[in-house]
Structure 1
Amino acid sequence: MQTNNRLRESLVVIICILSIISCLAIFMAQQTNQYNTNFFRMQVVYIIIGFGTVFLLSKLNITFVRANILWVYLAMVILLVGILIPNPLVSTINGATRWYQFPGISLQPSEVAKSMFIIVIAHFAAKYERVIWKQLLITWSLVAVILLLIMRQPDLGTTIVYFVSAFTISILALKSTKLVITILASLVVAVSGGLYLVVYHVTLLEKIGFKSYQFRRIHTWLDPASDPNSFYQVDRSLKAIGSGTMSGNNSSSVYIPESHTDMIFSTIANQFGFIGASLLLILFMLFIHQLIIAALHMKNSFSTYVIAGFAMMFAFNIFENIAMTIGLMPLTGIPLPFISYGGSSTLGNMIALGTILAVIKNDDTSLSRT
């Protein structure tokens, strides 16, 4: 119990520090005068609301949630289906329908639903872990529905995040080493085949529902000279990071499109240099490390699967966001967890933290020993 409490406290402390960095970075991003809105003040409000959410969710009775898991899944499906049905609350932005629009605020359901998704998949993975075929059939049938709904928005980046989280839980739940190796080998073949189609036969993918702009980003990533306009954002990001030198560029801010959201790591590297960017990476590594330690420390498999799913979700988000700012990965709309500006992303991450704290607290009293 004392170990669990220490784990919970360390996670909260790390997120508090990351939240302070978020506010400072957003304030710095505003100094380029490219925005009229006071994003700094709004982010402070979002973080306060977020920590209130963390406090409430940390008291959650996980046994009750698992007993009503089908209702949780149904609520998630309704959230995601509702955004695809034409209605006054939904609007199309840049060809995508991802947000509910309320007076003064917007809500991206795919961000909020991440925690519900991981809880559901972990529950069924633990419940049927002794019957592999049943486990795979049920969990991936549930996963497929959610992935298709998110792809319809369309939101390829978030779809990949959901897939990676579910895949991690599924691999951990399998007790057959041969099956794990077979699945991993099949995934490598599938990804390689997908990349081949993207590069040489993209029209085939467009016929099954993918959008051309999604692949344009990949083509630009592979060959920046093919589309200088699309590479502009990454080019500005690289210049900002490079001009940050060792301790930061104190003379003037470098203009970076979306410097307070997707490209906020570039702002941090520009303003605080290699030292500041490295300290941020260390904090992220400590956070993921604590999640891994927590997953290994859990006594029932459900708790292990939930925390491992969150650990992979955050690790993938962090890697993809930072990698795209330095040109190692294609541009996506994935924000930097706990750092990027945004009400939906902040709330979604805080919901995840609250859920993790509740799972750690209820580890000994969860629905069963699974």
Structure 2
Amino acid sequence: MQTNNRLRESLVVIVCLLSMISCLAIYMAQQTNQYDTNFFRMQIIFITVGFVAVFLLSKLDMTFVRSNIIWVYLAMLILLAGILIPNPLVAKINGATRWYQLAGFSLQPSEIAKSMFIVVIAHFAAKYERIIWKQLLITWSLAGVVLLLIMKQPDLGTTIVYFVSAFTISILALKSTKLIITILTSLVVAVSGGLYLVVYHVNLLEKIGFKSYQFRRIHTWLDPASDPNSFYQVDRSLKAIGSGTMSGSNSTSVYIPESHTDMIFSTIGNQFGFIGASLLLILFMLFIHQLIIAALHMKSSFSTYVIAGFAMMFAFNIFENIAMTIGLMPLTGIPLPFISYGGSSTLGNMIALGIILAVIKCDDTSLRRA
């Protein structure tokens, strides 16, 4: 119990520090005078609401949640499917329908549903862990429907995040080493085949529902000279981070597109230099480390799967966001957890933290029998 309490406290402290960095970075991003909206003030409101959500969700009885897991899954499907049905609350922006809009506020359901998705997949992975074929069939049938709904928005980046989270839980739940090796080998082959199609036969992928702009970003990543306009954002990001040197740039006039949202790491690198960026990375590593320790410390399979799923979700988000700002990965719309501006992403991450705290609190032998 004492160890669980220390884990919970350390996670909350780290997220508090990350939230402070978020507000500071957003404030610095506004100093370029490229925005009229006071994002700094809005982010404080989002974070405050988020911590209220953390407090409430940390009180959840996970045994009760698991006993009503079907309703959780149905609620998630309604939330995601509603965005695809034409209605006054849905806005189409840049060809994508990813947001509900009401009274001037927008909500991205895929950010909110991440936590529900991980809990659902972890529940069925734990429930059928003794029957491998049934476990794989049920978990991936449920996951497949959700992945399809997100792809239809379309939102390839978020779809990958969902897939990686489910895949992590699925691999952990398998007890057969041979099967794990077979699945991992198949995944490597599939990814390699997919990259080959993207580079040489992209027209085949477009015929099955993918969008050309999704692959244009990959082509630009592989060959920046092929489309200088698409590479402009990454180019500005690299220049901004480079000009930050060791302790940060004295200039406040560096222009970085989306410097308060997806490219906020560029702002941190520019304003606080290598030292500031390194401190942020250390905090992120501590956060993931605490999640891994918590997952290993849990008594029930369900608790382990949930926390491991969240650990991979956050780790992938952090890696992908930072990697795209320095040109190591293609550009995506994935925000930097707890740092990027945004009501949906902030609330989604805080919901995840609240559920993690609830799982750690409720972990006991009764969860095994649920």
Measure, in 2, the Cα distance between the counterparts of 1:326 and 1:58. 36
Percent of paired sites with the same residue: 89
Measure, in 2, the Cα distance between the counterparts of 1:17 and 1:152. 36
The aligned residue for residue 37 of structure 1 is 37
Corresponding residue SS for 1:97: strand
1:369 is displaced (CA, Å) by 4.7
Residue type of the alignment partner of 2:202: V
Over residues 272-292 of structure 1, what are the superposed CA-to-partner deviations in whole Å (9 max), with x where a residue is unaligned? 000000000000000000000
Q: For the Cα contact (< 8 Å) 2:166–2:309, is it kept in 1? A: yes
Measure, in 2, the Cα distance between the counterparts of 1:271 and 1:233. 18
The aligned residue for residue 148 of structure 1 is 148
Corresponding residue SS for 2:93: coil
For these two proteins, the number of residue pairs brought into alignment is: 370
Measure, in 1, the Cα distance between the counterparts of 2:112 and 2:263. 21
Structure 1-normalised TM-score? 0.99
Over residues 70-125 of structure 1, what are the superposed CA-to-partner deviations in whole Å (9 max), with x where a residue is unaligned? 00000000000000000000010000000000102100000000000000000000
Q: For the Cα contact (< 8 Å) 1:300–1:369, is it kept in 2? A: no
| Pairs within 5 Å for 1:190-229 | 190-229=190-229
Q: For the Cα contact (< 8 Å) 1:253–1:270, is it kept in 2? A: no
Instruction: Determine if the alignment matches structure 1 residue 189 to structure 2 residue 189.
Output: yes
1:21 is displaced (CA, Å) by 0.1
Over residues 105-149 of structure 1, what are the superposed CA-to-partner deviations in whole Å (9 max), with x where a residue is unaligned? 100000000000000000000000000000000000000000000
* Consecutive unaligned residues in structure 2, runs of 5 or more: none
The aligned residue for residue 295 of structure 1 is 295
1:19 is displaced (CA, Å) by 0.1
Q: For the Cα contact (< 8 Å) 1:91–1:97, is it kept in 2? A: yes
Corresponding residue SS for 1:92: strand
Measure, in 2, the Cα distance between the counterparts of 1:102 and 1:88. 9
The aligned residue for residue 339 of structure 2 is 339
The aligned residue for residue 13 of structure 1 is 13
The aligned residue for residue 58 of structure 1 is 58
1:365 is displaced (CA, Å) by 5.6
The aligned residue for residue 2 of structure 2 is 2
Residue type of the alignment partner of 1:269: G
Instruction: Determine if the alignment matches structure 1 residue 109 to structure 2 residue 141.
Output: no
Q: For the Cα contact (< 8 Å) 2:91–2:101, is it kept in 1? A: yes
* Consecutive unaligned residues in structure 1, runs of 5 or more: none
Residue type of the alignment partner of 1:115: S
Structure 2-normalised TM-score? 0.99
Q: For the Cα contact (< 8 Å) 2:84–2:97, is it kept in 1? A: yes
Measure, in 2, the Cα distance between the counterparts of 1:6 and 1:329. 36
The aligned residue for residue 314 of structure 2 is 314
Measure, in 1, the Cα distance between the counterparts of 2:65 and 2:368. 13
Residue type of the alignment partner of 2:254: V
Over residues 333-364 of structure 1, what are the superposed CA-to-partner deviations in whole Å (9 max), with x where a residue is unaligned? 00000000000000000000000000000001
The aligned residue for residue 76 of structure 2 is 76
Q: For the Cα contact (< 8 Å) 1:147–1:159, is it kept in 2? A: yes
| Pairs within 5 Å for 1:123-162 | 123-162=123-162
Measure, in 1, the Cα distance between the counterparts of 2:211 and 2:191. 18
Corresponding residue SS for 1:346: helix
1:252 is displaced (CA, Å) by 2.8
Residue type of the alignment partner of 1:50: G
